[in-house]
């Protein structure tokens, strides 16, 4: 499973490992900014995309909105699963409204069902 995470504050791999998630079959790449985000998504073609809502320079919600337009126009393939993650539940709700499959408090990321496969 290929995972691309846009997260600027917390080490996602460390969070998942400390929660007991086995990452031996996971190729996880974390980017600490959203610079060149569409090209990063396209070149990495992740199965799972993790989007921090408040990451600079482009917030995760805007990344999701631009990704949606790029998918609709056929410029990019949508990741199988998109996760909006923030410590603010309101931000997660907005990500869900714009097509994220999950909206989760960042510290509960390890509780999502796809890590168990």
CA distance 29 to 90: 26
Q: Model's pTM, two decimal places? A: 0.96
Label residue 94 by pLDDT band (50, 70, 90). very high
| Residue boundaries of the structural domains of the chain | 2-116
CATH node for 2-116: 3.40.50.2300
pLDDT tens across 17-39, in order?
Answer: 999 999 999 999 999 999 999 99
Q: Say if residue 88's pLDDT is above 90.
A: no
CA distance 34 to 19: 26
> Tokens at residue 70, please?
């790029």
């Amino acid at each position: 499973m290929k995972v691309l995470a846009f997260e600027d504050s917390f080490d996602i791999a460390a969070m998942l490992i400390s929660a007991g998630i086995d990452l031996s079959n996971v190729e996880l790449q974390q980017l600490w900014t959203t610079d060149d985000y569409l090209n990063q998504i396209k070149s990495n073609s992740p199965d799972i995309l993790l989007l921090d809502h408040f990451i600079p320079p482009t917030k995760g919600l805007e990344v999701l909105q631009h990704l949606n337009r790029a998918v609709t126009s056929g410029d990019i393939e949508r990741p199988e699963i998109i996760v909006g993650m923030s410590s603010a539940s309101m931000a997660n709700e907005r990500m869900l409204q714009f097509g994220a499959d999950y909206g989760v408090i960042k510290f509960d990321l390890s509780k999502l069902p796809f890590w168990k496969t």
